[in-house]
Amino acid sequence: MSRLLQVSHGSAAPTRHIASLDALRGLAALAVVFFHLSLIAQQSLDSHQQGLQTALQTLRLTPLFVFFAGSESVLVFFILSGFVLYLMLSGRAMPYTVYVRRRLLRLYPPYLVAVLISVVLVGLLGGHHAPGFGSWVNSVWQRPPDFITLLHHVLVIGNPDTEPYNFVLWSLVQEMQISLIFPLLYAAVLRFKPAGVLAGCLCLSVLANVLALILAHTSPALAYLLTPYLDSLHYLIFFAAGALMARRSATLGRWYGALSIWRKLLLIAGGLACYTYGHLLMVHFGIASRIGDLLILPGAFMLVLLFSHSQRVIQLSQHPAPQFLGRISYSLYLYHGVILLAVVFGLGRHLALVPLLLLALILIFPVCTLAYSAVEQPAIQWSRRGARRSVVPPASN
């Protein structure tokens, strides 16, 4: 890879900050929080609370699912990351070492602090069964921290075991791994047509999933070790979709603006259908691999499109609440599970389910706001420090 990443042929860098997409990231992070709360509720409700159980299951079948979609929201994060990384690189030439330093300083310090806090809480509160809280809660925080697992978490790259301490960390492994190879994807986006880029990434996704299935039956140990890397090949298409949306932003904006109101409604309805029912179709047809994520891709694309080019949605996204969620979205995503499990394992024997989950929800926001101020904001400043002095200004035409 060349020392300099020549990332644009234009004379001016594009906008680096899009407030409406920050809001989408914050709302997606909140949806992940609600998903985990609802998952614990569904697995922990008593038999006499069948009505609430039925209500949660029914909501899962409606477009309201967008407000507590878990894995679907992570796919939105990946598209947004591709969008943001494209904007980060475009308009200037940047040494690869500067790019990597900037990206890792942005992601790694908050990640590492979250890992260390999780390890401490697992040691203090974990290691025992949580009666009445279902199989998912009792699959995490069960074994005491050990050096090898902690080392895998600290090294991040290639970590195949992200569940013991903080169940959301799997996506951070993907973010960091794909960030390291994103300049190659960026070069492909600049050089090839969108259909070619997406077709290439689709082939990589299919290949990765086929290899994962073969290895799972022939060499489970090797499959376990290679899973993080095969997953990166699979998720590359979501980063590619985001990068292409950023590159073709003006074209997409004109296309969306020219649609009639009925076609816009049809687009939204189709996207919501993919977003809501994609995972259910995977389950129905017995699709066990991640290839089923591709059914959700059109819905995630639709959400990013709306928050990029729908004037009504953009206006609503300027409200202080979604903007606040956008600011703390990374911390909200990193710490909500830690807080939730700490409350469950620490107070689960003393509080009823509903007050317990309400307490966790109340604690999440001040704790994540504190984490944003104390850890994430300094990381943002560190990632920017020196970067301005290390880039090559764009050449004029």
Which tens digits make up the pLDDT trace of 5-25? Answer: 444 443 334 446 789 999 999
- pTM score, whole prediction: 0.91
Name the phi and psi angles at 132, rounded to 5: 85, 5
Give dist(CA 194, CA 51) in Å, integer: 48
Lowest mean pLDDT among 68-72, 195-199, 258-262, 389-393: 389-393
Q: Which two tokens stand for residue 312?
A: 């009504």
| CA Rg value for the chain | 21
388: left (phi over 0), alpha (psi -120 to 50) or beta: alpha
Residue of 298, 372, 359 whose CA lies nearest to 333: 372
Q: How far apart are CA 163 and CA 250, in angstroms?
A: 41
Q: What is the mean pLDDT of the chain?
A: 88
Task: Return all residues near 122 (Cβ < 8 A) that are at least 6 apart.
Answer: 141, 144, 145, 164, 165
Does residue 164 carry a pLDDT above 70?
Answer: yes
Lowest mean pLDDT, pick from 174-188, 322-336, 378-392: 378-392
pLDDT at 56: 78
Rounded distance between C-alpha atoms, residue 132 and residue 126, angstroms: 15
- pLDDT, one tens digit per residue, over 108-151 is 999 999 999 999 999 999 888 888 888 888 889 988 888 888 89
**Tens digit of each residue's pLDDT (9 = 90 or more) over 22-54:** 999 999 999 999 999 999 988 887 655 667 777
In sequence order, what DSSP letters do the residues of 7-43 get, joined into one string?
---SSSPPPS--HHHHHHHHHHHHHHHHHHHHHHHHH
Mean pLDDT of 155-182: 91
User: Cβ distance 114 to 32 under 8 Å?
Assistant: no
Cα torsion through 313, 318, 321, 322, rounded to 10: 50
In this prediction, residues 94-99 reach a mean pLDDT of 90
pLDDT of residue 386: 52
pLDDT higher than threshold 90 for residue 235: yes
**Cβ neighbours of 342 (radius 10 Å):** 22
**Residue with the larger pLDDT of the pair 349 and 186:** 186
Secondary structure class of 6 (helix, strand, coil): strand
DSSP state letter for 393: P
Angle at CA 72, nearest 5°, toward 156 and 293? 85
